[in-house]
Structure 1
Amino acid sequence: MSEVYQVIYSGKLQPYADESRLVMLFSEKFKLGQEKAQRLIKGGRPIALKKDLDLEKALKFRESLEKLGMVITLDPDPDLQTAEPSELSLGIYGGDDETTEVLDQSQIHRERCPKCDSGNMQLGICQDCGIVAAKFLAAQARGDVPEPANEEVGQDDPYTPPEADLEEPGEGGMVGPRSVSAGRGFSWVAEGWAFFRESPFAWMIALVLWGVVNVLVAMVPVVGAIAVTLLAPTLVAGFMIGCREQEEGESFSPSHLFAGFSHNAGQTIMVGLFYMIISGAIVITMMVTVFGSLESVFPQVGEMDAASAMAVTTPMIASFAVGMIAFVLLLMAYLFAPALVALDDLSAWQAMKMSFMGCLKNLLPLTFYSILALLLFLLNGLFMLLSPVSVVLAGILFGLGLLILFPVQIGAIYSAYTDIYYD
Structure 2
Amino acid sequence: MAINRVAASRGFGWYAEGWSAFREAMGSWVLAAVGYLLIMLVLNFLPLLGPIVGAMIGPGLLAGFLVMARAARGAEEVRAGMLFRGLSNGDTRGPLLVLGAVALAGTLLAGLILVYTSTGEIAPGGAGTGTPQTGGAMPAASASLGGIIGAVLVALLVTFALLFAIPLVTFQDMDPATAMRQSFMASIRNLAPVLLFLVLYLILGFIAMIPVGLGFLVLLPVGAAAAYQGYREIFPEPAPAD
1:408 aligns with 2:190: no
Q: 1:257 offset after TM fit, Å?
A: 0.5
**1:252-401 to 2 correspondences below 5 Å:** 252-261=78-87, 262=89, 263-290=91-118, 294=120, 316-377=144-205, 395=211, 399=214, 401=215
> Residue 278 of structure 1: CA displacement?
3.1
Q: Indicate the residue corresponding to 1:80 in structure 2.
A: none
Provide the rounded CA distance (Å) in 2 between the counterparts of 1:268 and 1:368: 26
Report what 1:240 is aligned to: 66
Task: Give structure 1 stretches of 5+ with no counterpart.
Answer: 1-173, 299-314, 385-394
Residue 289 of structure 1 and its aligned partner are, at CA, apart by 3.1
Residue 196 of structure 1 aligns with which residue? 22
Structure 2: gaps (5+ residues): 123-142, 238-242
Aligned 8 A contact 2:28 2:78 in 1: yes
Does the C-alpha gap of structure 1 residues 240 and 223 become closer, same or farther in structure 2, counting only changes over 3 Å? same
Structure 1's 378 and 228: CA in aligned 2 closer, same or farther, altered over 3 A?
A: closer
Mapped partners of 1:378, 1:270: distance in 2: 29
Alpha-carbon separation, structure 1, partners of 2:82 and 2:152 = 33
Partner of 1:175: 2
Summarize deviations over 1:147-188 as a string: whole Å, max 9, x none.
xxxxxxxxxxxxxxxxxxxxxxxxxxx532x21111211210
Q: 2:41 aligns with which of 215, 223, 230?
A: 215
Tell me the residue number matched to 2:139. Answer: none
Q: CA deviation at 1:220?
A: 3.5
| Larger gyration radius, structure 1 or structure 2 | 1
Aligned counterparts of 1:217 and 1:232: Cα–Cα separation in 2 = 11
In structure 1, C-alpha distance between the alignment counterparts of 2:206 and 2:114, rounded to whole Å? 29
Residue 140 of structure 2 is matched in structure 1 by: none
Output the aligned Cα RMSD. Answer: 2.5
The question of whether the paired residues in 2 share the 8 Å contact of 1:238 and 1:258 is answered with: yes
The offset of 1:275, in angstroms, is: 1.8
> What is the TM-score with the length of structure 1 in the denominator?
0.47
Question: Aligned residue pairs: how many?
Answer: 216
Deviation at 1:246, TM superposition (A): 2.2
Any conservation in 2 of the 1:218–1:227 contact (CA below 8 Å)?
no
Give the drift of 1:232: 0.3
**Any idea what the Cα deviations from partners look like across 1:239-279, whole Å, max 9, x if unmatched?**
11122222222111110110002151101001011221233
Cα displacement (A) at 1:332 = 1.2
Q: Secondary structure at the match of 1:180?
A: coil
CA distance in 2, matches of 1:371, 1:219: 29
Q: With the length of structure 2 as denominator, give the TM-score of the two structures.
A: 0.79
Q: Which moved more, 1:410-419 or 1:336-345?
A: 336-345
Q: Which letter does structure 1 place at the counterpart of 2:225?
A: G
CA, structure 1 residues 322+371, in 2 after alignment: closer, same or farther (shift >3 Å)?
A: closer
**CA shift in 2, pair 1:240/1:283, >3 Å:** same
Q: Which amino acid aligns with 2:53?
A: A
Cα distance change, pair 407–360 in 1 and its aligned pair in 2 (3 A)? same
1:379: Cα distance to partner? 5.2
Percent of pairs with identical residues: 28
Q: Which amino acid aligns with 1:266?
A: G
Render the CA deviation track for 1:274-294: whole Å, top value 9, x for unaligned.
Answer: 22123313322332233xx54
